[in-house]
Amino acid sequence: MSDWTGRTDAAAPPKRPLMPALTKGFLCRCPHCGTGALFDGYLKVVDRCDACGEDLSHQRADDAPPYFTIFIVGHIVVPLILVVATHWQLSNATHLAIWLPLTLVLTLGLLRPVKGAVVGLQWALRMHGFDPEGDPNDPEPSRSA
């Protein structure tokens, strides 16, 4: 039996654990070793892990981290707004003074860990260039090839 890449079970590479990779990525660490830093700057992913040498240049998180961050922050802030609005009569200026900074802090605080988790997901599932055999469905060939 073959998997989605066309390889047989005997030729399939060993599975990478998903949850540890997501957790390491969320903590902004290399999804492979969990020791090396994942970012060089606020959102720039390092090309190679300093600790284990894992090539991370293949990642293509693109628009997923901002989308997931907006989704998470919206699910935190909107219920809070509804609870406060139903229990207290605050002015519009007070609402703006509360919710705009909270939304900004949550968004900027979660964007980097969410991007790390997306990179960890890509690494664990061998997406894009993280599969040494290459993905036949990947429009961009591996840089190592």
User: Which residues are paired to 8 by β-bridges?
Assistant: 2
Quick check: helix, strand or coil at residue 16? Answer: coil
Say which residue the tokens 């390889």 belong to: 7
Comparing CA positions, the residue from 109, 111, 127, 108 lying closest to residue 31 is 127
**Torsion angle (degrees, nearest 10) of CA 37, 40, 43, 44:** -110
Predicted confidence pLDDT, tens digits, the chain (145 residues): 455 555 555 566 778 888 999 999 999 999 989 899 999 999 999 999 898 888 888 888 889 999 999 999 999 999 999 999 999 999 999 999 999 999 999 999 999 999 999 999 988 888 877 776 665 555 555 454 4
Name residues whose C-beta falls within 8 Å of residue 64's C-beta, 6 or more positions apart in sequence. 118
How far from each other are the two terminal CA atoms of the chain, in whole angstroms? 27
Domains of the chain, residue spans: 18-130
